Structure 1
Amino acid sequence: MPQPIVALVGATASGKTGLSLDLAERLGGEVVNTDAMQVYRGMDIGTAKLPVAERRGVPHHLLDILDVTEPATVAHFQGWARSSIADIRGHGATPVLVGGSALYTRAIVDRFEFPGTDESLRRELEAELERIGGPALHARLEGVDPAAAAQIEPDNGRRTVRALEVIALTGRPYGAGMPRLEYADPLTVQIGVDIDRPTLDERIARRVDEMFAAGFVEEVEALLDRGLADGLTSQRAIGYREVIGFLTGDRTLAEAIEQTKTGTRRFSRRQDGWFRKDPRIVWVAHDDPDRVAKAVGAIESLS
């Protein structure tokens, strides 16, 4: 029988990384990154990427595979992750996915086929985005598909363009093409890390302070020299855009730090909202001393 697929989910700073290592050690597993920004070389401090020395010898996949100028889409991630999962299972190990995006995780573990693309239509929408701006284009999306608009930030022009493209191509709401709550492989279990909001907010604030103390501004400066400002995906990372604003004189360092905390808290709430809608997730408390055993029990119940 193949090894199960384990997906660890939950809000940023909730403790997923530590639990992923615990489970990988217990299960004889290997970690597959499902964080959209940790695929980028040099984006280390701002993404809380685990240093090699702290990975306990557990093999990690899909880290440091792209330059900051290269785009990464959900479709890319689906292909990369499923290939890594197949390789890991092929030599008898257990893949342990860890990341905070419900869409990325579900695109990997659930049945989901991506709608096609139309280059001409895409160019037209991108030209419109350039002409009228992200919020205005987002308002157009809200008029034709309010449910999709509610899931996309008004300043995320790239996702707005994609949603409008899919709607035009399929004649259906963008949400109709989202992954179904049906695992592509029945030997899949999602483990969620449950944490109360005050504790999470405190962790986020501490993490951001530590990022800036560890040289986050210098990291962004180095990445700008490597083309970060031109990266369609990478430059949208929380924290990086705020530091870029500081370096260009649009905000003070204190404002960049506070805005990074605010953006991360807002993102964590969206993450939690997404994950809570999935009834298949087995939740374990972040501070439960038996959380590893409980997670293992849920995994073993698949067999």
Structure 2
Amino acid sequence: MPRPVVALVGATASGKTGLSLDLAERLGGEVVNTDAMQVYRGMDVGTAKLPEAERRGIPHHLLDLYEVTAPATVALFQGWARDAIADIRGRDATPVLVGGSALYTRAILDRFEFPGTDDSLRRELEVELERVGSHALHQRLAGVDPEAAAQILPDNGRRVVRALEVVALTGRPFSASLPRLEYVDPLTVQVGVDIDRPTLDARIARRVEEMFANGFVEEVEALLARGLADARTASRAIGYREVMGYLAGDRSLAEAIEQTTVATRRFARRQDSWFRKDPRIVWVAHDDPDRVEKAVGAVERLGG
């Protein structure tokens, strides 16, 4: 029997990284990154990328693949991750997926077919995005597909444009093309890290403070020299856009720190809301001393 696919899910700063290493050690596994921004070289501090020296010698996949100027999409990531999973299982090891991008995780695990694209239509929408802003386009999306609008942040202009493109091309809501709750491989288990909001908020505030203390501004300066400002994907990462605003003189450093904290907390709430809708997830408390045993138990019940 092939090894199961294990995915650790939950809000950012909830403790997924540490648990992923524990599980990989226990299950003879290798870690597959499912964070959309950790694929970029140099985006380390702001994405809380685990330094190689702290990976306990466990192989990690889908980190540092591209320069920041390269675009990345859910469709591309799906292919990369599924190839990595097949490679790991082919060597009789257990793939342990971990990362903060909920849509990416679902696209990898579940049946998810991607609608086509239309370059001309996409360009028209991108021109309009530049002219009226993402919030105005998000309002339009809410009028034609409220379910999709509820799942996309108003300032995520790229995803708003993609949703409107799919609606125009297919005549169906973008939400109709989102992943179904049906695993591609039945030997899949999701383990969620459960954490209360006050504790999570405090962790996020501490993480953001540490990011700025550990050279986050300098990291963004270096990435700007490599084209970050014009990058379609990387420039939208939480924290990076706030620091770019600080470096451009649009806000103070204190404001950049506060805005990064607020945006991260908002993102964490959306992550939690997304994952709570999935009844297949086995939840373990972030501070449960038996959380590793309980997560391993969930895998063993699956047949691993």
TM-score tier (shorter): over 0.9
Separation of aligned partners in 1, 2:257 and 2:155:
20
The C-alpha deviation readout for 1:159-208, integer Å capped at 9, x for no partner, is 11100111111111110111000000000000000011111111111111
Give the structure 1 partner of residue 177 of structure 2. 177
Give the structure 1 partner of residue 139 of structure 2. 139
- In the alignment, is residue 51 of structure 1 matched against residue 55 of structure 2? no
Separation of aligned partners in 2, 1:110 and 1:219:
35
Give the structure 2 partner of residue 119 of structure 1. 119
Give the structure 1 partner of residue 234 of structure 2. 234
The C-alpha deviation readout for 1:94-124, integer Å capped at 9, x for no partner, is 0000012221111000011101111121112
Give the structure 1 partner of residue 156 of structure 2. 156
TM-score, L = length of structure 2: 0.98
Give the structure 2 partner of residue 213 of structure 1. 213
Structure 1 vs Structure 2 CA RMSD: 0.8
- In the alignment, is residue 19 of structure 1 matched against residue 31 of structure 2? no
Give the structure 1 partner of residue 195 of structure 2. 195
Give the structure 2 partner of residue 68 of structure 1. 68
Separation of aligned partners in 2, 1:120 and 1:133:
19
For structure 1, which runs of at least 5 residues remain unmatched after alignment? none
> Equivalent residues in 2 for 1:238-277 (5 A)?
238-277=238-277
Separation of aligned partners in 1, 2:70 and 2:80:
15
Q: CA deviation at 1:133?
A: 1.9
For structure 2, which runs of at least 5 residues remain unmatched after alignment? none
Which range moves more in the overlay, 19-28 or 124-133?
124-133
Separation of aligned partners in 2, 1:216 and 1:131:
31
Which range moves more in the overlay, 146-155 or 59-68?
146-155
Give the structure 1 partner of residue 302 of structure 2. 302
Give the structure 1 partner of residue 4 of structure 2. 4
TM-score, L = length of structure 1: 0.99
Separation of aligned partners in 2, 1:30 and 1:246:
38
Q: CA deviation at 1:131?
A: 2.3
* AA of the residue aligned to 1:130: E
Separation of aligned partners in 2, 1:104 and 1:195:
21
Structure 1 outlier segments of 4+, above 6 Å = none
Separation of aligned partners in 2, 1:139 and 1:262:
22
* AA of the residue aligned to 2:91: H
Give the structure 2 partner of residue 283 of structure 1. 283
Separation of aligned partners in 2, 1:120 and 1:228:
25
SS at 1:7 equivalent: strand
Separation of aligned partners in 2, 1:81 and 1:127:
32
Separation of aligned partners in 2, 1:153 and 1:14:
21
* AA of the residue aligned to 2:286: H
SS at 2:302 equivalent: coil
* AA of the residue aligned to 1:270: R
SS at 1:301 equivalent: helix
Which range moves more in the overlay, 153-162 or 9-18?
153-162
Separation of aligned partners in 2, 1:137 and 1:275:
26
The C-alpha deviation readout for 1:182-235, integer Å capped at 9, x for no partner, is 000000000000011111111111111111111110000000000000111101
Aligned pair count reads 303
Separation of aligned partners in 2, 1:254 and 1:97:
34
> Equivalent residues in 2 for 1:71-110 (5 A)?
71-110=71-110
* AA of the residue aligned to 2:226: R
The C-alpha deviation readout for 1:10-42, integer Å capped at 9, x for no partner, is 000000000000000000000000000100000
Separation of aligned partners in 1, 2:225 and 2:6:
38
Separation of aligned partners in 2, 1:128 and 1:212:
34
Separation of aligned partners in 1, 2:206 and 2:188:
33
The C-alpha deviation readout for 1:140-170, integer Å capped at 9, x for no partner, is 1111111111111222111111001111111
Separation of aligned partners in 2, 1:120 and 1:209:
43
Separation of aligned partners in 1, 2:289 and 2:16:
14
Separation of aligned partners in 2, 1:134 and 1:209:
28
